[in-house]
């Protein structure tokens, strides 16, 4: 994929400052060590004359550089370590099975390390994540009409009162009064652009955002308000299909997503988001074009705000909106991601 690099002095300054906004835009090859790194590598920075810049990891490899063992430039940003992948698979497949510190140690895992990872990546402890998974498991059974008592014990609880207290804490209502409630299941998906947070109800995808987006917490609150829902970690068939289609998209094998979407918002916002989905793969439009498409020529700024309020990155392709002069403009996930997505689509567009 051909991408123009920023000015070398700008890249070197970003490398010195470990600026994460440039992660994915360039790679640095260090002539004195023969290794190449991400801009955010924690290693001591070499002198300017000893640094070369590359647009891709492949370019650095072709030049003869080896990948750095500290920043691991060959891996996707935010890639989950192998020990977490196997642990997540186990607890998602068997959420009702309790895992104490001793159980983790038997699996060769340090409990403090596990706690730190879940706190950093999910904002809750490992045990908190397990409890939320159990409640998610129970919610699914109750929605199918299963009785409360067998559901409680099948979900790994030792007492009915303990289950009811935990359920009410997470869902907001007692098990017998929650059949009309909505739960948004949340999971973390790996992509070449770093981890994304995906969410869905049992029927529709309602969230797909880069996990480091500043507005993510606000978007989650708005979504919960609109849907009168609670969020719980977990997966469902829709999220599994989303992951499959995202992988196909990033490999250049898929140009049109086929997923049911839920997009709560104002009539104006929905009009904007509907038109975004009509922009063909590999093409771009300006904010002015988008305002024309919804027949609101004087609402260019409002169109820009609605574009930024999109909660379904890539699925509703707000990255296909550029400035009137063709230059890249604001993108919640960062301009480097926007450029990557546009380059990806243009290089795989069918002629």
pLDDT digits (tens, 9 = 90+) for 212-252: 787 788 888 888 888 888 888 888 899 999 999 999 999 99
Q: How much is the pLDDT for 132?
A: 83
Domain 8-67 in CATH 1.20.1290.10? The answer is: no
**For the domain bounded by 264-348, which CATH number is listed?**
1.10.10.10
Tell me if residue 318 is catalytic.
yes
The whole-number average pLDDT for the span 326-350 is 85
Please state which CATH class domain 77-180 belongs to: mainly alpha
Structure tokens at 163: 């289950």
Give the integer Cα–Cα distance in Å for 22 and 190. 19
Whether 259 and 238 have beta carbons less than 8 Å apart is answered as yes
Region(s) of the chain under CATH 1.10.10.60: 77-180
Q: How much is the pLDDT for 1?
A: 39
Region(s) of the chain under CATH 3.40.10.10: 8-67
What is the total residue count of the chain?
351
Region(s) of the chain under CATH 1.10.10.10: 264-348
Among 285, 284, 277, which residue's Cα sits nearest to residue 256?
A: 277
Q: How much is the pLDDT for 173?
A: 66
Give the integer Cα–Cα distance in Å for 8 and 39. 12
Q: Output phi, psi for 78, to 5 deg.
A: 75, 15
In the chain, what is the straight-line distance between the N-terminal and C-terminal CA atoms, in Å?
17
Cβ–Cβ contacts within 10 Å for residue 283, how many?
A: 12
């Amino acid at each position: 994929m051909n991408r123009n690099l920023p000015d070398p002095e700008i890249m070197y300054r970003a490398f010195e400052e470990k600026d994460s906004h440039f992660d994915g835009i360039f790679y640095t090859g260090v002539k004195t060590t023969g290794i190449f790194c991400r801009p955010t590598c924690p290693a001591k920075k070499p002198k300017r004359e000893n640094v070369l810049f590359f647009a891709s990891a492949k370019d650095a490899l072709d030049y003869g550089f080896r990948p750095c063992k500290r920043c691991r430039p060959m891996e996707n940003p935010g890639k989950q370590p192998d020990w977490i992948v196997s642990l997540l698979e186990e607890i998602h497949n068997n959420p009702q099975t309790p895992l104490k510190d001793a159980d983790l140690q038997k699996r060769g895992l340090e409990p403090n390390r596990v706690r730190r990872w879940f706190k950093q990546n999910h904002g809750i402890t490992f045990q908190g994540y397990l409890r939320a998974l159990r409640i998610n498991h129970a919610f699914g059974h109750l929605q199918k009409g299963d009785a409360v008592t067998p559901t409680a014990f099948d979900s790994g609880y030792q007492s009915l009162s303990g289950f009811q207290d935990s359920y009410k804490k997470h869902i907001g209502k007692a098990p017998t009064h929650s059949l009309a409630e909505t739960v948004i299941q949340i999971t973390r998906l790996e992509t070449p652009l770093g981890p994304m947070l995906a969410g869905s109800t049992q029927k529709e995808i309602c969230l797909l955002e880069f996990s480091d987006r500043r507005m993510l917490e606000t978007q989650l609150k708005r979504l919960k308000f609109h849907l009168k829902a609670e969020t719980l970690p977990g997966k469902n068939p829709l999220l599994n299909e989303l992951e499959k289609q995202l992988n196909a998209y990033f490999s250049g094998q898929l140009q049109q997503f086929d997923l049911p979407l839920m997009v709560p918002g104002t009539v104006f916002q929905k009009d904007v988001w509907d038109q975004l989905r009509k922009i063909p793969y590999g093409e771009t439009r300006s904010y002015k074009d988008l305002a024309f498409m919804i027949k609101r020529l004087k609402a260019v700024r409002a169109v820009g705000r609605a574009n930024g309020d999109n909660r379904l990155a890539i699925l509703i392709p707000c990255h296909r909106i550029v400035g009137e002069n063709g230059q890249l403009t604001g993108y919640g996930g960062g301009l480097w991601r926007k450029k990557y997505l546009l380059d990806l689509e243009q290089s795989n567009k069918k002629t």
